[in-house]
C-alpha cells in the first residue's frame, strides 16, 4: 500500500548531519526520516536531483517502511572502507574508522586532483592495507575512454579488485572494458544502473562485469532485488551516504540476496560526524549488522535541519508523492 501524504508528513523529521570531511562535494548530509508500520525509513535523494528521480527514492522509503519485510539470509554483511579524496598523509586516519575492513574503495577522478594524486592515494592505501587487502577505485563516470585507459594502466600495479564507473555512458563502458580486458581488471557499473531509465541496459550490452546496486535510487529493497535477479551479474550492494536508517535498508537488501561475493559499500556511517541513533551501523570486524534502527529523539532534535530546509523537504515530499 502507498501511504497518504498526510501519513508520511505526520512522522517526518528532517535532519542535517555534518560529515567528518567534505565528500561528494558536500559538508552536510540532509535526510528526511519517516516512521512507518515496519519502523523508521529514509527519503534522502541528493538536493540537486529532480522530482522524477527523487520520487524513486520515495518509493524505496515507502517499500522499507510499509512494504513486505525482506527475508534475511545472513545476520551481518561485510563492508568496504571508503576513502574520500584526501592526501596520502590522511589515509591512515580514514582507515582507522573502518576496523576490520579488508576492502577499500578509493575515490578517484575528482575535478580538484590529478591522476598523480590518485596514484599516490591508492599507493598509500595499498601500503597500509598490505598485499592481501582488496582495493577498488571509483571514478563516478568522470573519465573519457582514453583517460580511463591511462588511469587503469597507472593504477594496475596496485592490484585492483575492479574499477567502478570509469566512464559515463554504456557505450563508453563497453569500449573501456574491451581495452583493459588484458589487464584482468573488471569493470563495475553504478550510475549506469541507478540513474538509467533502464537499469538492465548495461547488463544486456555487456558493458560491465558486475553491478553496484543501491536500494534507494532503485526504488527499494523489493525493486532492487528484482533487478539483481534479472541482471544475472555479481553485485555490490552500496549506499548513497545514508544515515544508519538508509544503511539498514541496504543491509536488508544485501542480506536477502542468494549470492553476495563482494564486500558491500554500506560502511559509510563512518563518514558521518553525527547520526540519528545511539547505535549507528558502524563497521565492526569489517561488517555491519542487519537490523532495523531505533532513532534517538534527542539526536533528531539536536541535528534537526533549519526550518526553511525542513519546509523545502516537506514540499519536495509532496511533489514526489504526487508522482507515485
Give binding residues for Mg(2+) as ranges: 138, 164, 190
Residue 195 designated active-site:
no
Q: How far apart are CA 98 and CA 82, in angstroms?
A: 8
CA distances from residue 266 to 81, 248, 250, 292 in whole angstroms, order as listed: 9, 9, 7, 14
What residue spans of the chain are helical by DSSP H? 5-11, 51-66, 91-95, 115-129, 145-155, 170-179, 191-194, 201-204, 221-231, 244-255, 297-302, 307-323
Q: Are 43 and 57 spatial neighbours (Cβ–Cβ below 8 Å)?
A: yes
Pairwise CA distance, residues 179 & 146, whole Å? 10
Q: Which of 107, 124, 183, 195 is catalytic?
A: 107
Cell output for 227: 533487478
Beta strands 81-83 and 76-78, pairing class: unpaired
Q: Would you call 123 helix, strand, or coil by DSSP?
A: helix
- Binding-site residue positions: 138, 164, 190
Residue 107 annotated to the active site? yes
Out of 105, 124, 195, 214, pick the active-site residue: 214
Phi and psi torsions of 242, nearest 5° = -80, 165
- Strand order of the sheet with strand 187-189? 81-83, 103-107, 134-138, 160-164, 187-189, 210-214, 235-238
Active site residues: 107, 214
Amino acid at each position: 500500500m502507498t501511504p497518504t501524504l498526510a501519513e508520511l508528513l505526520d512522522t517526518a523529521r528532517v535532519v542535517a548531519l555534518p560529515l567528518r570531511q567534505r565528500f561528494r562535494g558536500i559538508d552536510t548530509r540532509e535526510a528526511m526520516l519517516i516512521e512507518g508500520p515496519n519502523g523508521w525509513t529514509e527519503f534522502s535523494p541528493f538536493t540537486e536531483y529532480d522530482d522524477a528521480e527523487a520520487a524513486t527514492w520515495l518509493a524505496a522509503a515507502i517499500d522499507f517502511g510499509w512494504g513486505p519485510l525482506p527475508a534475511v539470509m545472513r545476520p551481518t554483511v561485510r563492508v568496504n572502507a571508503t576513502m574520500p579524496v584526501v592526501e596520502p598523509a590522511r589515509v591512515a586516519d580514514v582507515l582507522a574508522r573502518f576496523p576490520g575492513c579488508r576492502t577499500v574503495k578509493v575515490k578517484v577522478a575528482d575535478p580538484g586532483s590529478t591522476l598523480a594524486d590518485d596514484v599516490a592515494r591508492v599507493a598509500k592505501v595499498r601500503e597500509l592495507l598490505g598485499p592481501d587487502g582488496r582495493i577498488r577505485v571509483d571514478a563516478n563516470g568522470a573519465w573519457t575512454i582514453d583517460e580511463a585507459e591511462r588511469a587503469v594502466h597507472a593504477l594496475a600495479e596496485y592490484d585492483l579488485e575492479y574499477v567502478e564507473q570509469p566512464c559515463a555512458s554504456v557505450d563508453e563502458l563497453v569500449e573501456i572494458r574491451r581495452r583493459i580486458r588484458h589487464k584482468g581488471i573488471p569493470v563495475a557499473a553504478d550510475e549506469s544502473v541507478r540513474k538509467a531509465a533502464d537499469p538492465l541496459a548495461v547488463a544486456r550490452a555487456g558493458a560491465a562485469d558486475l553491478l553496484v546496486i543501491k536500494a534507494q535510487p532503485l526504488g527499494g529493497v523489493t525493486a532492487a532485488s528484482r533487478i539483481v535477479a534479472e541482471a544475472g551479474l555479481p553485485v555490490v550492494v552500496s549506499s548513497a551516504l545514508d544515515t544508519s536508517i538508509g544503511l539498514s535498508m541496504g543491509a536488508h537488501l544485501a542480506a536477502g540476496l542468494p549470492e553476495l561475493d563482494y564486500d558491500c559499500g554500506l560502511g559509510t556511517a563512518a563518514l558521518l560526524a553525527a547520526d540519528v541513533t545511539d547505535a549507528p551501523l558502524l563497521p565492526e570486524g569489517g561488517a555491519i549488522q542487519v537490523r532495523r534502527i531505533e532513532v534517538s529523539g534527542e539526536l533528531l532534535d539536536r541535528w534537526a535541519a533549519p526550518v526553511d530546509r525542513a519546509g523545502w523537504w516537506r514540499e519536495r515530499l509532496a511533489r514526489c508523492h504526487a508522482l507515485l
